Structure 1
Amino acid sequence: MTNYQHEQYFAHCHGHPKKPLEIYMFVDPLCPECWSLEPVIKKLKIRYGRFFTLRIIASASLTALNKKRKKHLLAEAWEKIASRSGMSCDGNVWFEQDQPLSSPYMAALAFKAAELQGRKVGMQFLRNMQESLFVSKKNITDENVLLEIAEKTSLDLEEFKNDLHSQSAVKALQCDMRIAAEMDVSVNPTLTFFNTQHEDEGLKVPGSYSYDVYEEILFEMLGDEPKPSETPPLECFIEYFRFVASKEIALVYDLSLEEVEKEMKKLAFAKKVAKVEAKHGMFWKSLSTYSDEYQSCEK
C-alpha cells in the first residue's frame, strides 16, 4: 500500500493541539503489565485517536527492581501475566543471564534519550525495547543492546550515544519522575485522562484493564459516544506497525485467536508476513517494502 493509503487510516492518530483530551500513560520499559496493555492502546488510538493526544511518561519502578527480588518470583510473575494477557513475556530471562536487568535506571534513561530525537521515534524505541526484552529475552539495561535497538529504530546513533550520557536525558527522566510523584502514581501502568478544555483534575486509572473500561472512560471524558474511525484493512495494519502479536490483531479486529491464525496464514502464503513464534502466543512480522520509517500511530 502507498504512504497515502496508510495516512488515510492512521493520520488521525497523530498529535494536534486542538484535540479535546490528553492522556498521560505512565510506563516502565521493564514492566510486563505495561507491555500487556499494548493491544488496548493500539485499538483505542485507531478507533478514537482523533480525540486525544497520548503522552508517555517514564515511571520506572527503580526502587522495586533495585531491591533485587528473587529471580524465581519475578519469573513466575512474568509467566502469569503472559498467560493472562496473551502478550508473551518469557520469565526465563531472569535465569539466562549473569546479571539480568541489573540497571533499570538505564532502560528508562535510554527511552528519554531516544525521545530527544522526537516523540514519535521515542515511542517506537520504547516498543522495540519491549519486543527485545519480552519476546527476544535481551537485556535492555545493557548499553550494547540499547545501541542495537537504537539502530533498528533508525535513530542517529552518535546523537543517541551522546544523549545517553548527557544531562539532557537525565533532566528529562527527572521531569517525568517528578510528574509521576506529583500525580501520586505508584503503579505501572497508570493512565491519567485530562480534558484540555476544562481545568478539572484528571481521572487517574492505575493498573491494566480490558479495552471496554478505557473506552467507557474516554466517552465519559468527552461527554459523548462518538462513532469510531474506520479500522484499516489487516494488511495495512501489519505494514504500518511492522511487528504485531496475534493478541493485538485479535483485539483490534474483534477476532478469535483461531480466526487471526487463519487470516495471517493467507498473508504468510502470499509472502507478506512471517510468523514469529514466542513462548506465549504468536507474532507476525511484515515482509512488505513499505518503509516510511517506523510508525507509532502516535502524538
Structure 2
Amino acid sequence: MNTWSAPNPQHTNNKPMEIYLFIDPFCTDCWALSPIIKKLQLEYGDYFILKYVLCGQITSLNNKNKKDLIHSKKTVKNCQTDPFMYTPHLAAISIKAAELQGKRAGIRFIRRLQEMLFMENADITDINVIQQCAKNADLDLDEFIGDIYSQSAAKAFQCDLKITSEMEVSEMPAMVFFNENIEDEGLKITGLYSYDIYVQILTEMLEGYPKPAEMPPLELFLTSNPINATHDLAVIYDQSPQQIERQMKQLQLQQKAQKIHAKNGPFWKYNSSRNQTMP
C-alpha cells in the first residue's frame, strides 16, 4: 500500500469516497477480485463511487498468437478500413463503447465479458462474441457497434491509459481510494487481499465505522448476477462452498438453476424468468 496525490476527485450523490479500480479485465487476479468488489458494493456502496479504469497492459490479449488474430480478423464486419480493429485491443475498446451507454451498462458488459472468457472459454477478440456479450448485457446493439468504431471510445481508452500512467499503476489489480477531503492523499493498494482489508481501508479513510447494508437474499442477488462460481458466492455471502452448493442444488431441483461444467471449472447459471431485480 502507498499514498498517492491525484487531481481532485469528483464526488456525486453525496458519497464521501471515490475508488479508482484499475483492471486488466482478462487477468485472472482481476477476475478473482470480482466477488470482493460485488460484496463491497452490496454492503458499503452507499459510501463510495466506483470508477473502472482499464490499464495499459492487456496481458492476456497481447499473448494471443497470430493464428487467433487472423481468425478474429475474418470474423470482423464493417471495419475493413481500420486495421487497429483487427488487434486484440478490440475487446478493450468495446468496454469503453459499452460505458458510453452508462456506468451500469459498462459494468454489466465488463462482468459478462469476463464470464465469457473465464467461465465459458470464449474468444473475446472475436467481434461476434463481443456482440453477443453486448446483447447479454442488455445494451442497445446498434448504438454499441457504432460506438466501437467511434472516436469517443478510442479517446476514453486513451484517457484510461493516461490515468494509469499518472497514478503510476503497473501491477494488477490496483485500487486507489480518495476521501472527500481534497487535501488528503489517495491510498493506493495493489494486488489481491481478503475482503476485511478493503473494509479496513474504508473505515480508516472515513474516520469511523461505516455501517454495512443488509445483504440481499441469495435469489434476489442471482436475478441481477445470474452466472457465478460456487467459490464466488461463498465469498460474497461469507459462507462455506458446501453451504452454497446445498442452496444452489435446491434451486436446481426447482429448475431455477443449472450447473454447467466448463474448461475452467463448474459454475451455476440462474434461470428464473421472474422480473424481480435488485435496486
TM-score calculated relative to the size of structure 2:
0.84
Is contact 2:29-2:172 (8 Å) kept?
Answer: yes
Counterpart secondary structure, 2:133 = helix
Letter in 1 for 2:164: A
Equivalent residue number for residue 28 of structure 1: 24
Pick the aligned partner of 2:110 from 110, 122, 126. 126
- CA drift at 1:226: 2.4
Distance 1:222 1:51, change over 3 A: same
Distance 1:122 1:181, change over 3 A: same
Q: Percent identity?
A: 46
Give, in whole Å, the separation in 2 of the partners of 1:260 and 1:217: 28
- Aligned: 1:230 with 2:218: no
User: Which 10-residue stretch deviates more, 205-214 or 54-63?
Assistant: 54-63
Pick the aligned partner of 1:243 from 201, 205, 227. 227
Pick the aligned partner of 2:136 from 152, 155, 165. 152
- Measured against aligned partners, the alpha-carbon deviations of 1:192-217 in whole angstroms (never above 9, x if no partner) come to 10102333121011111111111111
Pick the aligned partner of 2:192 from 183, 205, 208. 208
- CA drift at 1:280: 4.5
Counterpart secondary structure, 2:14 = coil
- CA drift at 1:104: 3.4
- Measured against aligned partners, the alpha-carbon deviations of 1:238-272 in whole angstroms (never above 9, x if no partner) come to 12212222112111221111111111111111222
Equivalent residue number for residue 274 of structure 1: 258
- For residues 14-163 of structure 1, what are the structure 2 equivalents within 5 Å? 16-62=12-58, 66=62, 68=63, 98-99=67-68, 103-163=87-147
Q: How many residues align?
A: 254
CA RMSD of aligned residues (A): 2.4
Give, in whole Å, the separation in 2 of the partners of 1:232 and 1:111: 28
- Measured against aligned partners, the alpha-carbon deviations of 1:128-165 in whole angstroms (never above 9, x if no partner) come to 11011111111111212111111221211111111111
Equivalent residue number for residue 168 of structure 1: 152
- CA drift at 1:292: 7.0
Letter in 1 for 2:49: T
Runs of 4+ in 1 over 6 A off after TM superposition: none
Counterpart secondary structure, 1:99 = helix
- Measured against aligned partners, the alpha-carbon deviations of 1:95-136 in whole angstroms (never above 9, x if no partner) come to xx9417983321111100111111111110111110111111
- CA drift at 1:281: 4.4
Equivalent residue number for residue 83 of structure 1: none
Counterpart secondary structure, 1:255 = coil
Counterpart secondary structure, 2:68 = coil
Letter in 2 for 1:99: D
- CA drift at 1:290: 3.2
Letter in 2 for 1:238: L
Give, in whole Å, the separation in 2 of the partners of 1:127 and 1:62: 16
Give, in whole Å, the separation in 2 of the partners of 1:63 and 1:48: 31
Give, in whole Å, the separation in 1 of the partners of 2:14 and 2:181: 9
Equivalent residue number for residue 175 of structure 2: 191
Q: Which runs of 5+ in 2 are unaligned?
A: 1-10, 73-85
Letter in 2 for 1:224: G
User: Which 10-residue stretch deviates more, 150-159 or 180-189?
Assistant: 150-159
Counterpart secondary structure, 1:290 = coil
Letter in 2 for 1:58: L
Counterpart secondary structure, 1:55 = strand
- CA drift at 1:17: 2.4
Is contact 2:16-2:48 (8 Å) kept?
Answer: yes
Distance 1:282 1:62, change over 3 A: closer
Give, in whole Å, the separation in 1 of the partners of 2:181 and 2:219: 37
Is contact 1:65-1:104 (8 Å) kept?
Answer: yes
Distance 1:104 1:221, change over 3 A: farther
